[in-house]
Amino acid sequence: MEFTDSYKHTGPCCFSPNSRYLAVAVDYRLVIRDVVSLKVVQLYSCVDKISYIEWALDSEYILCGLHKRPVVQAWSLTQPEWTCRIDEGPAGIAYARWSPDSRHILTTSEFQLRLTVWSLLSTACVHVQWPKHASKGVSFTKDGKFAAICTRRDCKDYINLLSCQTWEIMGTYAVDTIDLAGVEWSPDDSAIVIWDSLLEYKVLIYSPDGRCLFKYQAYESGLGVKTVAWSPCGQFLAVGSYDQIFRALNHLTWKTFAEFAHVTTIRNPCNAVVFKEVDEPLQLDMSGLCLRENFPHNIQDNCPENAPEGNSRVKYKVMDFPISLPFQKPAADKPNPKQGIGLLSWSNDSQYVFTRNDNMPTLLWIWDIRRLELAAVLLQKDPIRAAAWDPTCPRLVLCTGTPQLYMWSPSGACCVNVPLPNFVVYDMKWNSDGSCLLLKDRESCCCAAVVSMLHESCEDSSEDEDDVYN
């Protein structure tokens, strides 16, 4: 991997959808950089410190949310003199998002009084009363034609189906939830999944016209659903629960076809590989950490000659079975227990899913959906802060608040040192074309370019295990 210099940030940072630009918030300034050269392309000044930013899908516009005002400002990359400011007055603005056509902004007022659709093409605006959530509870179809918006009135949850062309309400129907937690269209736009709050285990599948296709409830009398995610192909629905089990449903019968438990001990027979992060002092032979040239994940920056003298390095060690895994017992007398599936994400080809059980914060589990088995476990020294799949191939990267990145693919796993002084990776994001990663420290950020050899490795993962694991 090739790392850039670090740049200051004081807030959110994100790539544009077309992979060409990087937006960085520095106090009240919005800095737009070219992804390849990292030169400043545009510089905008907001009226206050930037709280969040979001690109329009066509990458021509970007909005900035200012929580202290509260105000939303939008800017155009193609027309630098164009600007837009949205102020809801006493109602305030809790959150703002773009519509799929990149020409409308949806804002949610404080206390969820109303959701407003603002047009950049005219002065028209449309109101939807009593949205259920500020930043959640809105989902668009993949083709961008319709929006499902959750509302609540008279102690009842509703789904409002809006046309994204006229913004007229096409239909409204009540849903069988006690306290609706989220909504998401399926990737093929044929169904809507809705799930209840953590106090009630309930996952509901609705058709766009309001018919309840299926109701799923794994158990009663316990904390319920924590995470829900559609597979990119749209054929599977993953549900992570507080009982520390990840369940997968199919889109034909909506029945469970797999249940994966996060056990505390892994024993034979098991086809999974457990990679444990271990220290390796530099004075020892480090040839095992400097991978051979044709290894799929050839990371030259991880070689000892590039490391600071006197420090220790980390690497992955393949563990034998049986192995006991570390876990934490959540406090029974505190709300929102650190338990259950807090992280869950599908690979781009829908073959793999990674999960993190929150009372086992140092473990990342990787499941093979085709074989219906555990593929690998990454055992870290520190709690996992973020993990993300490469958008172009089944390769994931994670960080733990250390100066290292950790990578896994079906070929194996490796540790990558970030060669920047005092740089600690707290968060990261992939560019949409998989060419580079955005790495965030608390007050600085940098980009890590994925060289072409790493991209080729996604297509060829048939390396010999002795070469991969050593």
Q: Name the phi and psi angles at 465, rounded to 5.
A: -65, -35
Confidence (pLDDT) at 311: 52
Give 313's pLDDT tier (boundaries 50, 70, 90): confident
Give 275's pLDDT tier (boundaries 50, 70, 90): very high
Distance CA 254, CA 206 (A): 11
Average pLDDT, the chain: 89
Cα–Cα distances in Å, from 221 out to 199, 218, 224, 389? 9, 11, 9, 34
Check pLDDT > 50 for residue 307. no
Check pLDDT > 90 for residue 176. yes
Give 108's pLDDT tier (boundaries 50, 70, 90): very high
Distance CA 97, CA 113 (A): 17
Q: How many CA atoms lie within 13 A of 176 on its CB side?
A: 14
Poorest-confidence range of 3-17, 277-291, 371-385?
Answer: 277-291
Count other Cβ atoms within 10 Å, centred on residue 237. Answer: 24
Distance CA 70, CA 65 (A): 8
Cα–Cα distances in Å, from 60 out to 30, 77, 187? 15, 5, 25
Give the domain 1-87 fold.
Thrombin, subunit H (2.40.10)
Distance CA 369, CA 263 (A): 18
How many helices and strands (H and E) does the chain possess? 2, 41
- Rg of the chain's alpha carbons, rounded to an integer? 23
Confidence (pLDDT) at 91: 86
In eight-state DSSP terms, residue 308 is P
Q: Which two tokens stand for residue 425?
A: 């990776």
Residue position matching structure tokens 């709050």: 197
Check pLDDT > 90 for residue 333. no
Q: Residue range 133-146: average pLDDT?
A: 96
In eight-state DSSP terms, residue 465 is H
Residue 412: left if φ>0, alpha if ψ -120 to 50, beta else—which one? left
Residues 6+ apart with CB under 8 A from 269: none
**pLDDT tens digits for 406-426?**
999 999 999 999 999 999 999
Cis peptide before 269 (omega within 30 of 0): yes
Confidence (pLDDT) at 80: 87
Confidence (pLDDT) at 444: 96
**pLDDT tens digits for 29-79?**
999 999 999 999 999 999 999 999 999 999 999 999 998 888 999 999 999
pTM of model > 0.85: yes
Q: How many CA atoms lie within 13 A of 228 on its CB side?
A: 24
**pLDDT tens digits for 111-128?**
999 999 999 988 789 999
**pLDDT tens digits for 212-239?**
999 999 999 889 999 999 999 999 999 9
